[in-house]
Structure 1
Amino acid sequence: MSAITDLNDLRLFSEVVEHGSYTAAARSLGVQTSKLSRRIRALEEELGVRLLNRTSRSQSLTETGRQFHQHCLALVAEAKAAKDIVDRTRSTPQGTVRIACPVALLESGLSGIIARYVENYPDVQVLLDATNRRVDVVEEGLDFAIRVRLPPLENTDLAVRQLGQSIHILVASPRLVARLAEPGSIESVKGWPTLCMASSSERFVWNLVDAEGGVRSLVHQPRLATDDLVSLRVAAISGVGVALLPRELVEADIQAGRLQRLLPGLATAPALVHAIFPTRRGMVPAVRHLLDALVAGCEELNW
């Protein structure tokens, strides 16, 4: 016997048995009686056995049909259970969400937003990859990844949702500022020890924009260069040097007096904090609600 190619025929057969006639089953299913009858005959031909005894006035199951019907009921029940799982997943947040996010953004407030989301939705599990590397959302099976990029964003087949904006500002510890005297221009920072993001060319340049849109640049040789913004923040607080860091990462330190902003009229051009994901189509509530929470949370953080 060949494999059954259309499992929907098993459901149709079960409907005929449950309703007691082709006419009643066809009326319930909203199909023509003749079409339903042809499907059941085709099923019998495919199986090579008779499932129903038919007369002009009645129908009854053969012994094989009776046993086959029991298995059909089990398959229909399993199919319904599978659909119920999908329907629940589509209606309420549940299941596993896999995401990736740079460490500095988590330190800047996103970790708190994600924690609140997990607390609010106990049926959701979030698998978070805290990483500074450029992840491949599709290849790594992620629901979305969070990135920070200067506009315009690169052309991609991935969907994008903006969460907020990020600017970098100059900061230093109050002790260092007291020792070296607060600078009045970017040129006067040349004599300061600096901390900077690593550069493959080993040429270190800060490009800052003033209120009129003019660019002010500073070429410098940092005492510490790393691709970890959190390490730069710690070094800045310790008084090692002046650093150009994301405002959202150091805002609490400025408020607490651990860091002081230098040259408040200068900052980097705004970069876009955004989530990238394979598609908006078929996005389950757990992912959609987490993205909504991140957008709302970033707005509260004034990003």
Structure 2
Amino acid sequence: MNQITDLNDLRLFAEVVEHGSFTSAARDLGVQTSKLSRRIRALEEELGVRLLNRTSRSLSLTETGRQFHQHCLALVAESKAAKDVIDRTRSEPQGTVRISCPVGLLSSGVSEIVARYVEENPHVHVLIDATNRRVDVVEEGLDFAIRVRLPPLVDTDLAVRQLGLSIQILVASPDLGARHPVPESIEALREWPTLSMANSSEKFVWNLLDADGQSMSWNHQPRLATDDLASLRMAALRGIGVAMLPRELVDADIQAGKLRHILPELASTPGLVHAIFPSRRGMVPAVRHLLDALVAGFEELNGKWQGGV
């Protein structure tokens, strides 16, 4: 048997079966009944089998035709799915996107990236649940949740896309630095007041890496502890203590001279900023493009610090 070169004939055959007659199918397809009949007859001749039982009043499938029809339906469905891929790619993002993001990460650049995305896509609405709790994206009907975790990431049934890296650095205000000798090691900070993220154990430890990648832990008793990064940044700006904060959050302050990066050879282990979502299949353009925007945004943020610790 020669290879079928016109797959449209398979679609036409499926349409005839669906409509139950050549006349009805031809009317719906906008072609002449005689032309449609000739196409199906030519298909049978090419295959060397009869697919349809024809009488003056009825049309029915042969056993071979019934099996062949199932494959035609699958082929038609796949062709529609292929076209949907192109349509989704070309279509303008629109609709509502529901996401969750930790409060501190929003302050560290995510809010600016999302705002820019909304500005550039006027038909998209973004609803952000700013929370530090661990959300259930499926149960809560979220399109995706943004998280930061140290590698390796825990196995999950959800789809995961890495967005970027988050590294924390030590910063202090110029006024605070003027009251203390320039520290040459982490031990020198014992004479400095500190700030820290809060935790239930009330044991405060900075876990850091040096320029050679060697890890170290440093215990301290902060003057202020809170789970709000914005409050820590404000306290650092006011000279209350040294803080370990995401570099994305304090980059502008350092550039403006409001904060100083101290002990620049030390930094936290890079945290993986990633999005989790139910599935990659069926993702609408608005969600996919927002994820793309977040990846591009973090590339820009991380690029400012290339060559740093």
How high is the TM-score relative to the length of structure 1? Answer: 0.74
- For 1:223 and 1:26, the matched residues in 2 are separated by 87
Deviations 1:243-279 (A, max 9, x none): 1111111111111111111111111111111111111
Q: How does 1:152-301 map to 2 (within 5 A)?
A: 152-301=152-301
Uncovered stretches (5+) of structure 2, i.e. residues with no partner: 1-14, 45-50, 62-82, 304-309
Contact between 2:237 and 2:258, CA under 8 Å: does it hold in 1? yes
Amino acid in structure 2 at the alignment position of 1:256: A
Amino acid in structure 2 at the alignment position of 1:37: L
Deviations 1:219-245 (A, max 9, x none): 111111111111101111011111111
The 1:88–1:121 alpha-carbon spacing in structure 2 relative to 1, beyond 3 Å, is farther
The 1:119–1:220 alpha-carbon spacing in structure 2 relative to 1, beyond 3 Å, is same
Deviations 1:110-129 (A, max 9, x none): 22221221122222211111
The 1:289–1:202 alpha-carbon spacing in structure 2 relative to 1, beyond 3 Å, is same
Deviations 1:134-158 (A, max 9, x none): 2111111111111111000001111
- For 1:139 and 1:290, the matched residues in 2 are separated by 21
1:37 aligns with 2:44: no
The 1:11–1:170 alpha-carbon spacing in structure 2 relative to 1, beyond 3 Å, is same
- For 2:195 and 2:150, the matched residues in 1 are separated by 21
Deviation at 1:37, TM superposition (A): 3.1
Deviation at 1:34, TM superposition (A): 3.8
Q: How does 1:127-146 map to 2 (within 5 A)?
A: 127-146=127-146
Aligned length: 252
Q: Give SS of 2:59's match.
A: helix
Contact between 1:96 and 1:127, CA under 8 Å: does it hold in 2? yes
State percent identity of aligned pairs: 64
1:12 aligns with 2:19: yes
Q: Give SS of 1:161's match.
A: strand
Deviation at 1:10, TM superposition (A): 12
Deviation at 1:98, TM superposition (A): 1.0
Equivalent in the alignment of 2:66: none
The 1:156–1:22 alpha-carbon spacing in structure 2 relative to 1, beyond 3 Å, is same
Measured on the aligned residues, the alpha-carbon RMSD in Å equals 3.0
- For 1:250 and 1:28, the matched residues in 2 are separated by 70
Contact between 2:16 and 2:25, CA under 8 Å: does it hold in 1? no
- For 1:9 and 1:101, the matched residues in 2 are separated by 52
The 1:229–1:271 alpha-carbon spacing in structure 2 relative to 1, beyond 3 Å, is same
The 1:298–1:27 alpha-carbon spacing in structure 2 relative to 1, beyond 3 Å, is farther
Equivalent in the alignment of 1:120: 120
Contact between 1:23 and 1:33, CA under 8 Å: does it hold in 2? no
Deviation at 1:218, TM superposition (A): 1.5
Deviation at 1:182, TM superposition (A): 2.1
- For 2:167 and 2:241, the matched residues in 1 are separated by 19
Amino acid in structure 1 at the alignment position of 2:19: L
- For 1:128 and 1:11, the matched residues in 2 are separated by 46
- For 1:147 and 1:219, the matched residues in 2 are separated by 26
Q: Give SS of 1:301's match.
A: helix
Contact between 1:205 and 1:218, CA under 8 Å: does it hold in 2? yes
Deviations 1:77-117 (A, max 9, x none): xxxxxxx9999666422221111112222222222221221
Amino acid in structure 2 at the alignment position of 1:204: F
